[in-house]
Amino acid sequence: MNEVVVLTPERILEVTEDVLRRFGLAKATVVDVARALDVSHGSVYRHFPSKQSLRQAVAKRWLERVSAPLTKIAEGAGPAPARLECWLRTLCLAKQKKLLEDPEMFATYLTLANEACVVVKAHKEGLADQIAGILADGVKQGAFHVADAKATARAILDAISRYYHPAHSEEWKDPDLAVRFEVLLALLLRGLEAPRKR
């Protein structure tokens, strides 16, 4: 007896990623996804009303996977400076690792992310909120001196964009990149330190 597989949005997104990997973003269609799922393309459209909405959902899913370990760090306990350093390293390494491990899929996701502006904007806001939370903890702990946590969080993301933003991925081949990142990280952490009481 054949096992009936329930068609869920998650299942469609998994298969869409496989289809994108096989055919590339330019050639992959909703019909290809439906064929791989062994359903009609109308069944896919019941979950995702357009090709654009399917592509946005794929980009969102990828960005959520990048964010998952960051959320754990942001919501964790411990000294805020150590958490912030760990968070920043994790963000940059995650993006660079994805490029090294799967350059074709990385290029696909870069294009998808550029198309899905609303999804990317929400992702960036989420990242800024996580940093702001760590900064606020740091202020409570007496470790950081920050007047506006959200504005500072956005400034930190701007400062490190070269090390995590896909638009700079060609620069990640620079052999001096790691050293430059360490210098920037030390500078940021030092700049956030609360003044010592005399």
Q: What is the per-residue pLDDT across 88-132, written as a single tens digit (0 to 9) for each?
A: 999 999 888 888 887 777 788 778 777 767 888 899 999 999 999
Of how many residues is the chain composed? 198
| Stronger pLDDT, 25 or 3, i.e. the higher one | 25
41 plus 79 within the same structural domain: no
99 plus 183 within the same structural domain: yes
CATH number for the domain that contains residue 32: 1.10.10.60
Residue 93 lies in a domain: yes
Per-residue pLDDT band for 25 (boundaries 50, 70, 90) equals: confident
pLDDT tens, residue by residue, 182-195: 999 999 999 999 88
100 plus 32 within the same structural domain: no
pLDDT tens, residue by residue, 154-191: 999 999 999 998 888 889 889 999 999 999 999 999 99
38 plus 73 within the same structural domain: no
Q: Which residues form the domain of 122?
A: 55-192
The total number of structural domains in the chain stands at 2
42 plus 132 within the same structural domain: no
- Interatomic CA distance for residues 13 and 18, integer angstroms: 9
14 plus 69 within the same structural domain: no
Residue 3 lies in a domain: no
Q: What is the pLDDT of residue 156?
A: 98
DSSP string, the chain: -PPPPP--HHHHHHHHHHHHHHH-TTT--HHHHHHHHTS-HHHHHHHSSSHHHHHHHHHHHHHHHHHHHHHHHHHS-S-HHHHHHHHHHHHHHHHHHHHHH-HHHHHHHHHHHHH-HHHHHHHHHHHHHHHHHHHHHHHHHTSB--S-HHHHHHHHHHHHHHHH-GGGGGGGG-TTHHHHHHHHHHHHHHHHBPPPP-
Answer yes or no: is pLDDT of 148 > 60: yes
pLDDT tens, residue by residue, 44-86: 999 999 988 998 888 888 888 889 999 999 999 999 999 999 9
137 plus 165 within the same structural domain: yes
71 plus 145 within the same structural domain: yes
92 plus 132 within the same structural domain: yes
Q: What is the pLDDT of residue 121?
A: 87
CATH number for the domain that contains residue 187: 1.10.357.10
Residue 2 lies in a domain: no
153 plus 178 within the same structural domain: yes
